[in-house]
Amino acid sequence: MRKKNNFEVIIIGGGIAGTTAALYLEKQGIKDVVILEKAKFPRLKPCTGLITSAAYKLLLELNIDPIKDLNYLSSHKNKGIKIFYKEKLKKEMHPQAELFVLEEAVRYNFDDYLRKKTIERGISFQEKIKINNIDFEEKLISTSKTTYKYKYLIFADGINGYSAKYADIKEKNICLEAVFKTEDKNEKPFYYLYFGETEQGYAWFGRTLQHCTIGFSDKYNSKIDYPAKLVAFAKKRGYEIDQKIVRGAFTPIAIAKNLTLHDQAMLIGDAAGITNALTIEGIYGAIFSAKQAANAIKQDDITLYIKGIDPLIREQKTAQKLLKRFFKPIFQFLMWEVYDRIFPHHITEGYDKIILEKKYSMDQAFKQAIKKFNPFRKKK
Ligand X SMILES: Cc1cc2nc3c(=O)[nH]c(=O)nc-3n(C[C@H](O)[C@H](O)[C@H](O)COP(=O)(O)OP(=O)(O)OC[C@H]3O[C@@H](n4cnc5c(N)ncnc54)[C@H](O)[C@@H]3O)c2cc1C
The residues of the shown chain that bind ligand X, judged by CB under 6 A, are: 12-18, 36-39, 45-50, 131, 156-158, 161-162, 175, 177, 215, 249, 251, 269-271, 275, 280-284, 286
Nearer to ligand X, 18 or 308 (CB): 18
Contacts of 250 (CB under 8 A, 6+ apart): 159, 160, 172, 173, 174, 175, 220
In this structure, are strands 99-102 and 50-52 parallel, antiparallel, or unpaired?
Answer: antiparallel
CB of 259 to ligand X, least distance (A): 13
In this structure, are strands 33-36 and 6-12 parallel, antiparallel, or unpaired?
Answer: parallel
Nearest to 122 by CA among 25, 31, 30, 18: 31
Nearer to ligand X, 37 or 91 (CB): 37
CB of 360 to ligand X, least distance (A): 18
Contacts of 2 (CB under 8 A, 6+ apart): none
CB of 21 to ligand X, least distance (A): 9
CB of 250 to ligand X, least distance (A): 7
Nearer to ligand X, 227 or 282 (CB): 282
CB of 289 to ligand X, least distance (A): 8
Nearer to ligand X, 70 or 369 (CB): 70
State phi, psi for 163 to the nearest 5 degrees: -80, -5
DSSP-derived 3-state class of residue 368 = helix
Nearer to ligand X, 216 or 326 (CB): 216
Select the residue whose beta carbon is closest to ligand X and give its number: 282
DSSP-derived 3-state class of residue 200 = coil
DSSP-derived 3-state class of residue 78 = coil
